């Protein structure tokens, strides 16, 4: 018996909510011990709703080759599409079943219908495609496509409604977080498309409950991933537009509620987005998945969202901007206790952008598969922070699980200073305190550990892949190409190592990092 694994599991489960545990057991027993059926309902003839895409999906289906590209991996189906194709992992299969490609700009009505009809022919054989999350995203995409093209098809409509009935009976209460929120968004699209009060009432209740829970006071989505914030915000804007365009059926207090939440989310996204338009690649954020901040700001403006200017607070992120650089620091907890699936062991991590050029970066993620690469990318040493000994600040494991978590125990903020402490190493009787002091052309980072580590503390600094190998001169690191120098005080050893910086799913670039060995104190001065 692996007692360490048992301890990890216990320290993970204790943070779950009762509703998550209940529904895990309920769905497990219901689906295995009882005959579980969803009755098909015949949908009578009706007129499609009004819809017009404001943001198109990137091209992922290429008809000539009958190929799909997801997560930077392409595959051609020689004749028949296998909707259960799983050679590239579950997330690739999920993407195949999302049907985002129905709403890419260049797809024709005929091609889209052919893909939907092929899917329906194989509906009885579906595996991952019948799980609630892909049903949710596929439902939205089908409704958008069918409505945008004013398609009236009895078979398609009945299949779509059947899948909404499956979703209704399998809402992801066992996961909560962004999954349940996506379920809620999709139910709203289904409600308007079928003019179904049952779907609407469930969607409204969930949206009010979950958005109040998941959107923090500073506007951040509570899983603290800028990419997922963009995804959720995009979906929220879609729901607002859906109600606006089809208000003849229903428009009540839900509309004003959604508008207010959109204003909050817009504020946080503006705060967190760099001047270049890029977002920090923290907490499972990566490239070319979500709509860009620029696209979302434009969308919000077109549908009349009033931006609320709210400073960063509850999310734990702080953004410092000077004429010379942008600095993002993380002095918050890892995320919601009951759903930290996208959290990394990265307390006190930071990113630094000079004149629009990334210098110090989060290493990002390149996979969701439960493998060594996934574990590596979530670990403390893959972030710009301090690791003591061989243990992570926060126990990330199993792809999306978190056991013991580092907690912020002290936070002090002044006009040009942030100082914080965390207890992630308290099991070994260590407390780590980090301060950021900044001026127009410099940044000073001070790390302090409450007792001697016997030179077993390491500070990590990850450079962007566009930067050449830095030059080491004693205790000073010089980046000749960017005009940046880094000086260390009280360092026992400094070395330059290679690492793989994520450039998206299944894509990495060679880059360099500094690893600094020290005992109790380290002072890092970055001259810009």
Each of the 528 residues of the chain gets a pLDDT tens digit; together they read: 577 888 899 999 999 999 999 999 999 999 877 766 676 666 767 788 999 999 999 999 999 999 999 999 999 998 899 999 999 999 999 999 999 999 999 999 999 999 999 999 999 999 999 999 999 999 999 999 999 999 999 999 999 999 999 999 999 999 999 999 999 999 999 999 999 999 999 999 999 999 999 999 999 999 999 999 999 999 999 999 999 999 999 999 999 999 999 999 999 999 999 999 999 999 999 999 999 999 999 999 999 999 889 999 999 999 999 999 999 999 999 999 999 999 999 999 999 999 999 999 999 999 999 999 999 999 999 999 999 999 999 999 999 999 999 999 999 999 999 999 999 999 999 999 999 999 999 999 999 999 999 999 999 999 999 999 998 999 999 998 889 999 999 999 999 999 999 999 999 999 999 999 999 999 999 999
Closest CA to 268 of 332, 209, 325: 332
Report the run of H or E that residue 420 belongs to, with start and end.
Answer: strand 417-422
For 82, the token pair is: 């296998």
For 373, the token pair is: 């690469």
Other CB atoms within 10 A of residue 285 CB: 23
Q: Give dist(CA 397, CA 392) in Å, integer.
A: 11
Task: Judge whether 528 and 447 are in contact, CB under 8 Å.
Answer: no
Task: Judge whether 409 and 446 are in contact, CB under 8 Å.
Answer: no
Is residue 198 packed enough to be buried (19+ CB in 10 Å), middle (13-18) or exposed (0-12)?
A: middle
Q: Give dist(CA 53, CA 65) in Å, integer.
A: 26
Q: Give dist(CA 309, CA 243) in Å, integer.
A: 25
DSSP 437-456: EEETTEEEEEEEESS--SS-
Q: Provide the whole-model pTM.
A: 0.96
Q: Going from the N-terminus, what domains does the chain have, and what CATH number goes with each?
A: 207-311 (no CATH), 317-527 (2.70.98.70)
Q: Is 110 left (phi over 0), alpha (psi -120 to 50) or beta?
A: alpha
For 125, the token pair is: 């054989």
Rounded to the nearest 5 degrees, what angle is found at the Cα of 522, between the Cα atoms of 326 and 496?
75
Other CB atoms within 10 A of residue 185 CB: 24
**Of how many residues is the chain composed?**
528
Number of helical H runs and strand E runs in the chain: 12, 19
Task: Judge whether 365 and 286 are in contact, CB under 8 Å.
Answer: yes
DSSP 24-56: HHHHHHHHHHS-------PPPP--------SSP
């Amino acid at each position: 018996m692996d007692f360490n694994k048992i301890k990890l599991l216990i320290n993970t489960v204790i943070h779950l909510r009762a509703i998550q545990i209940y529904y895990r057991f309920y769905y497990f027993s219901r689906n295995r011990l009882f005959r579980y059926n969803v009755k098909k309902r015949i949908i009578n003839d009706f007129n499609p709703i009004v819809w017009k895409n404001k943001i198109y999906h990137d091209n992922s289906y290429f008809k000539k080759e009958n190929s799909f590209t997801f997560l930077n991996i392409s595959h051609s189906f020689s004749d028949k599409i296998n909707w259960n194709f799983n050679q590239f992992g579950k997330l690739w299969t999920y993407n195949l079943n999302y049907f985002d490609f129905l709403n890419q700009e260049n797809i024709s009505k005929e091609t889209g219908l052919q893909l939907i009809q092929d899917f329906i022919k194989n509906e009885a054989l579906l595996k991952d495609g019948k799980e609630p999350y892909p049903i949710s995203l596929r439902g939205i995409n089908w409704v958008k496509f069918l409505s945008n093209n004013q398609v009236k098809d009895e078979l398609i409509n009945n299949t779509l409604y059947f899948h909404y009935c499956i979703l209704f009976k399998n809402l992801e209460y066992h996961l909560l977080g962004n999954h349940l929120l996506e379920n809620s968004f999709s139910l709203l699209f289904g409600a308007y498309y079928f003019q179904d009060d049952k779907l609407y009432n469930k969607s409204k209740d969930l949206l009010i409950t979950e958005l109040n829970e998941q959107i923090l006071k500073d506007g951040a989505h509570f899983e603290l991933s800028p990419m997922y914030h963009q995804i959720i915000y995009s979906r929220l804007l879609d729901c607002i537009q859906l109600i606006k365009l089809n208000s003849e059926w229903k428009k009540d207090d839900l509309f004003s509620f959604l508008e207010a939440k959109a204003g909050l989310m817009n504020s946080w996204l503006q705060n967190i987005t760099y001047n270049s338009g890029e977002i920090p690649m923290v907490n499972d954020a990566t490239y070319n998945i979500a709509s860009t901040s620029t696209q979302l700001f434009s969308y919000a403006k077109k549908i009349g969202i009033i931006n609320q200017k709210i400073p960063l607070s509850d999310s734990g992120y702080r953004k410092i901007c000077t004429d010379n650089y942008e600095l993002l620091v993380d002095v918050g907890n890892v995320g919601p206790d009951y759903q930290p699936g996208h959290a990394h062991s990265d307390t006190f991590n930071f990113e630094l952008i000079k004149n629009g050029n990334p210098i110090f970066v989060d290493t990002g993620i390149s996979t969701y598969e439960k493998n060594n690469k996934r574990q590596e990318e979530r670990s403390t040493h893959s972030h710009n922070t301090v690791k003591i000994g061989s243990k992570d600040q926060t126990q990330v494991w199993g792809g999306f699980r978190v056991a013991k978590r580092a907690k912020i125990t002290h936070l002090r903020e002044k006009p040009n200073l942030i100082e914080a402490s965390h207890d992630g190493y308290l099991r070994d009787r260590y407390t780590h305190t980090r301060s950021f002091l900044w001026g127009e052309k410099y940044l000073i980072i001070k790390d302090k550990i409450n007792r001697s580590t016997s030179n077993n503390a390491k500070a990590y600094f990850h450079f962007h892949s566009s930067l050449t190998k830095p030059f080491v001169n004693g205790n000073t690191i010089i980046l000749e190409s960017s005009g940046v120098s880094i000086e260390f005080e009280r360092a026992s050893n400094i070395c330059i190592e290679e690492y793989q910086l994520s450039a998206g799913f299944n894509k990495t670039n060679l880059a360099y990092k500094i690893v600094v060995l020290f005992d109790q104190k380290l002072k890092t001065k970055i001259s810009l």
